[in-house]
Every structure is written in structure tokens, then in C-alpha cells.
Amino acid sequence: MKISTKGRYGLTIMMALAKKSGEGPVSLKSIAKEYDLSEHYLEQLIAPLRNAMLVKSVRGAYGGYMLAKDAKEITAGDIIRVLEGPISPVEVLDDEEPAKRNLWIKIRDAVKDVLDHTTLHDLATYEDDGEQEYYMFYI
């Protein structure tokens, strides 16, 4: 499963809103500038997030966007599903060998578990302590 820029930038928008939570509406222009992203592209991503009631818009001179719920109530899975669709590394076929079908289901469930147990609050308040191990995989 590969998360596209839609999912990545969508998480960026939502993390930016979570970090500014309680400070009033945040403009997409300010997010685009801070993260060096296309404001036009962010405008395309905010609509589905608003339709899913994850963000709300505030009109006016000091308008912008705010989280519609507390950051602890929104998961990475909520955001990714809105922007990317269902979470699945492959389409599981009924006629596939049971061992392979079971593998795909385990992978899907593991990814869903991580996304559904990582809140926006977790992402927005994460601090790198330098002790995280990163693994490089070669394809």
C-alpha cells in the first residue's frame, strides 16, 4: 500500500490545524507557506475533509479552517480513508490460495491497527527523542 500526496498532505493539513487548535481559524495560505506546499492543491484536499466533518470552515477576513473535533478523537485512519479510500495493500480474491489470502488480510489488519490507534493528537505532539530506529527496505 502506498500513500499518495493526497494522504500525506492531508495529514500535514490536519496536523497543522491540531497544532494551532485553540488559536482560532488557520488559513490554507499560511499552511501552504509554512510547509512549502501548493495552496491550490490544499484547497482540493480540504473539501473532502470538511465533507467528512473532520474540519469546519470559518468565513470572513480572519477566517480559515479549524478541527471539527478534538485531535484526540480523530485518527490517522479517519484522514487516510477520506482522502485515499479503503485501506488494503491488495484486493483479496476469494479464489486465491488460503495462505496468500491470509497474508494479505494480516497485512491489511496491521496497517489499519496502526492508523486507527494513532490519533491526530499523537502526531501533532510527537517529539523525536532520537532513539527511534528506522529500517531501510530494498525492493
Neighbour-count burial of 31, counting CB atoms closer than 10 A to its CB (0-12 exposed, 13-18 middle, 19+ buried): buried
The cell numbers describing 19, all together, are: 497544532
- pLDDT for 51 beyond 60: yes
Is the pLDDT at 1 greater than 90? The verdict is no
Tell me the average pLDDT across 52-78: 94
Residue bearing the bigger pLDDT, 9 or 2: 9
Residue 127, pLDDT score: 76
Q: How big is the chain by its Cα radius of gyration, in Å? A: 17
Mean per-residue pLDDT for 99-106? 88
Would you give the distance in Å from CA 95 to the centre of its chain? 33
pTM: 0.85
Q: What is the CATH number of domain 5-124?
A: 1.10.10.10
Tell me the average pLDDT of the chain: 89
pLDDT the model gives residue 139: 44
What residue segments make up the domains of the chain, in order of their start?
A: 5-124
